[in-house]
Amino acid sequence: MGDMIKGNEAIAEAAIRAGARLYAGYPITPSTEIMEYLSWRMNEVGGTFIQAESEIAGINMVIGGAACGVRSFTASSGPGISLKQEGISQLYDEELAAVVINVVRYGNGIGTLHTSQCDYLRETRGGGNGDYRPIVLSPASIQEAVDLIGLAFDLAEKYRTVCTLMTEGALGQMMEPCDLPKFKEVKRHTWGFDGKYSYKKVGIFDRDSMKEATLLNKKHNTIKENEQRWEDGDVEDADYIFVSYGLPGRSTQGAVKQLRAEGYKVGFIRPITAWPFPEKAFTKVNPNVKGFITVESNATGQMVDDVALTVKKYLKADIPIFCLPYVYGIPAMKTIKSDFAKIISGEIKEVY
């Protein structure tokens, strides 16, 4: 078991060890410790750290680093990620590999400092203009976040796309034991600027809009086929299946374990990729399942739409889809169990 370390600092160090050598961003709670750590650590490994004058400037600097074939990334929260959307869309259009870390906080507009999952729809749908979707990874622990940050860079380069690590405020601020990865050899990609030639696009995007759309869908379908990730348990015989990601996913797994011990046939699916959504996990479920229940830390229920669409696609039956939205924070196991009892009794109605 590794040493105790703060989530944001662990993510920053893992990015260094994954070969990232350019960070550009602007401070915002609860992601600022990533910047603070990199402000001195990046220099030690010969990389470049820039505290930009704004979020918009930061993401555009990442575009420059990515165009040079350097592993480049940024981090922010809430409205800061919103300000970066034009640059993220441009990264995608230019087929540049980059990582964006969103330490999610709750609220509309300027928001609050509460930990939350209210950015699910923006991150999984591509929050900027155009037809695109970044790959979105959603850790449930500091160790998983550390493991996923290296994967994020690898996937971004494999598909020449943007990969988002969607964490939560609580995960960034808490401490857990964590084993950090070994250092990866730093390589500059041959398709980047080299002083003689401009960077080399893969060739998906050109002036032929119909060709672009066809190739874009092919790229998206390849990612959806190959990169779905999830954890599940007890779904084969479950009457009710909980679906939850991130830190609420941990509480949900605990609640499922206790409910099983009490005689309830329940199971869980914990998405690790929010996009592509892990549809394949639903092919394993009990065909006679009575309902699906999402557990989310947002006000309106966001992932519930993806669950409903997936159930319609694979189970092709009128199965009730429930949602337990806890606005912000991390729901306790006893709270989830109590609300499950309300679903069973009919007090909480299905969304779909």
Say whether 122 sits in a helix, a strand or coil: helix
Rounded to an integer, the average pLDDT of 35-51 is 98
Helices first, then strands: H and E counts in the chain = 12, 14
Residue 199 — pLDDT band, cuts 50, 70, 90?
low
Residue 11's pLDDT is what? 98
Tell me: pLDDT of 204 over 60.
no
Q: In angstroms, how far is CA 193 from the centroid of its own chain?
A: 29
Q: Which of 189, 128, 194 is nearest to 160 (CA)?
A: 189
Tell me: pLDDT of 56 over 60.
yes
Tell me: pLDDT of 221 over 70.
yes
Q: Report which of residues 22 and 93 the model is more confident about.
A: 22
Domains of the chain as residue ranges with CATH: 3-226 (3.40.50.970), 231-345 (3.40.50.920)
Q: What's the rounded Cα separation, in Å, for the pair 342 and 315?
A: 25
Residue 180's pLDDT is what? 97
The pairing of beta strand 230-233 with beta strand 266-271: antiparallel
Residues 124-180 have pLDDT tens digits of 999 999 889 999 999 999 999 999 999 999 999 999 999 999 999 999 999 999 999
Question: Cβ distance 295 to 331 under 8 Å?
Answer: yes
Answering whether pTM is above 0.75, one says: yes
Residues 273-325 have pLDDT tens digits of 999 999 999 999 999 999 999 999 999 999 999 999 999 999 988 999 999 99
Question: Cβ distance 156 to 62 under 8 Å?
Answer: no
Q: Which helix (H) or strand (E) holds 38?
A: helix 32-44
Tell me: pLDDT of 239 over 60.
yes
